[in-house]
Every structure is written in structure tokens, then in C-alpha cells.
Amino acid sequence: MQGKVTSRPWMIITRDSAGGFYEVARTLSHVLKIPLSQRYICSRNILMVGTIYGLQSPYILLAKRVIAYLGIEGPMHSYASNAIIRLKSPVIITPSNYAREELSRFGVKVDYVIPHGFDPCDVPESLPRVDNNHARTLFSIVLSNVRIYKLLGVKFLLKAIRESPVLRKNALLLFKVPKNKGNMVRDIVNEFGLSIDNFKIIDTYLSKYELYRLIGSSDFYIHVSLSDAFGLPIIEAMAVGTPVIALNAPPWNEIVNDDVGFLVKVRGEVIEGNPPLRIRIPDINSLRETLENVMKAADNGRLRNKVRNYAYERFNAHVLYLKFRDVMEQYGRS
């Protein structure tokens, strides 16, 4: 698609500099041909990508039209919903039914649910295998940040591995963590008394293309996050055909099902943090058994093709994000 999506120019704004919201905003900008800014600026029409707390900027309040593509990972503070009330008839979009339900608990009406998508232009065509001299099953884990709910997920994972002689012998875990944060994962490995030989930790910068190659070269991807509004790394893993292991709870089970991935039972949840997060607690026995069972698959080539096709059918941003164009055109006529 070429040109503007409406007769009035729009601006995409996100305050995220390198995480999931930035990737979503960048892909939206590419697909819709709309400029992207990482700071708040004056614009009559704004598509804001981020959390509900970002709506409190004066620049958002001054805009004539606001489309808010909101991720929310737990109950809101009561003052957060006031940010929406102060806007001039915004359009509210969430990436998951889970996020919509969290907002609805505070009386916020969600107009559309549009899942996050991946940009096929970023996905490499060929995917070499990572050097694995011991022929072990290779699991990749990507931490976009080291917030506590992600590190807790790593601890639950390592607890499951510690309890399984099969996993300690035959599993190789490949961690991609933020720059210079590798020691945080190494400390957790040491805390659980596991051999560092079971782990490869990369804490240097990787381009999007390199990250896709890394995930695509592994046998399985483990999504360790215990709280999400969607789970963007899941669809990125699926885009390169890597089957995903995730918790059987929303929003993850809105993306992954038993036909294209592996779901781990959840034994409970807690509300923690500021802003509050809904943190799911995995069932350790289910996690251990799932990891042991996937290792028994001698050849998952057929599954990989199925996973990749599923991702392109449901989460191709060049198709999915055109729904935003329709929303903008309709909103622009109002």
C-alpha cells in the first residue's frame, strides 16, 4: 500500500525504545507508511502504542483524534482509567482478549481486538543450525528485559530442569538477554546448582534478522514470561517454524494451541508490582513433563512447517495491520 491512509496525516508514537512496543510500532509504521516518533510531539491524529499510562501526556490530550493500541498485563490503578476519560472519544484497541478483559474490569470499553503481527520482511529465508556437538535438544529463550516476572519464569524453568535427570543430560538452553545482563542468568544457574555446560548465554546486541536466525536454529522456543499483554516473541518464534512452549493461560493460549505448540498447566496467580501485574505460576510437574516429552520427538520437521504456516496465516502484519487503516479511515470521517 502506498501513500497516506487518510486525507489527514497520522503519527505513530511510542515511548518504548527497544522492547516489544517499539517493535510493534516500527512494524505498524512500515506497513501503514506512517511516520514513527519515540517522543511525544504535537499532531492532530495520533496512534499511540504502549500502556494506558502513556495516555496522560498533554500531547495526547491535545490531539483531535487518538487511537490507543494498549498492552496491559494486570489490574490498572484507578487513576489510569481517568486518562482515557479525559480524551476526546478515543478508539481503544488491544492485542488480546485478555487485555480487553483487564480494561473492561475498570469500565474501559475496547473497540477492537487486533493481535500483534510480525513483519515477514524481517524473517530470514534460510536458518542454519546452531553448533551443537553433543546432539542435545536445543531450547531458545529470549528475555527482552530482566524485569522480575521474567527472571521468576527463568527460575521456575531451572527448577524443572534440576528435578529431571533427562533434562540435565540432554537439554541445551540458549538464552538471549539484554546487553551486559548475562551475569544475572548465570547467577540463577549457579543458584540452582546446574552445570553451565547446559547453557549458552548471549548478552550482546543482535539485529532483528540475527535474532530470528537464532530462534529459528533451535528445536523449541520456551516463553518464560509470567505476565504479558500478548507475547510478541511467541509469534516471532512461530514465524521461523520453531514450536513454542508457553503457559496454558491467556494471553498465551490465545496464540498457541496444542496443534502448533505445547501448553504448560498453571497452578495459580498473584497480583504483584507497581503498576500491578497478573503473574501466573506454572505447575512445575507439568513444565518438567512437557520439556521431557518434546525431547522425545526425533524429527519435528512436519510440525515446524505447520507452525510456520499457522503464523503466516494468522499473524502476518502486512495483512493483520491493514485493519488499522480501516479504523483510521472510518475515524477520520467522524
The residue-averaged pLDDT of 301-307 equals 90
Q: Looking at the structure, do residues 128 and 254 belong to the same domain, yes or no?
A: yes
Q: Is the Cβ–Cβ distance between 127 and 325 less than 8 Å?
A: no
Q: Looking at the structure, do residues 91 and 177 belong to the same domain, yes or no?
A: no
Residue 20 placed within a domain: yes
Q: Looking at the structure, do residues 57 and 204 belong to the same domain, yes or no?
A: no
State the pLDDT confidence band at 127, using cuts at 50, 70 and 90: low
Residue 93 placed within a domain: yes
Q: Looking at the structure, do residues 169 and 268 belong to the same domain, yes or no?
A: yes
| Total domains in the fold of the chain | 2
Q: Looking at the structure, do residues 254 and 127 belong to the same domain, yes or no?
A: yes
The pLDDT > 90 percentage for the chain reads 64
Q: Looking at the structure, do residues 263 and 324 belong to the same domain, yes or no?
A: no
Q: Looking at the structure, do residues 204 and 246 belong to the same domain, yes or no?
A: yes
Asked whether the predicted pLDDT for residue 245 surpasses 60, the reply is yes
State the pLDDT confidence band at 40, using cuts at 50, 70 and 90: low
Domain limits at 267?
A: 122-315
Q: Looking at the structure, do residues 104 and 214 belong to the same domain, yes or no?
A: no
Q: Looking at the structure, do residues 68 and 133 belong to the same domain, yes or no?
A: no
We report the CATH number of the domain holding residue 127 as 3.40.50.2000
Grid coordinates belonging to 238: 512461530
Asked whether the predicted pLDDT for residue 169 surpasses 50, the reply is yes
Q: Looking at the structure, do residues 164 and 223 belong to the same domain, yes or no?
A: yes
Q: Looking at the structure, do residues 153 and 192 belong to the same domain, yes or no?
A: yes
Mean pLDDT, the chain, integer: 88
The dihedral of CA 44, 50, 52, 53: what is its sign? negative
Residue 6 placed within a domain: no
Q: Looking at the structure, do residues 150 and 109 belong to the same domain, yes or no?
A: no
Q: Is the Cβ–Cβ distance between 173 and 198 less than 8 Å?
A: yes
Which of 93-97, 98-102, 145-149, 291-295 shows the lowest per-residue confidence on average (mean pLDDT)? 145-149
Instruction: Report the alpha-carbon distance of residue 123 to residue 216 in Å, rounded.
Output: 10
The dihedral of CA 194, 19, 269, 307: what is its sign? negative
Asked whether the predicted pLDDT for residue 77 surpasses 70, the reply is no
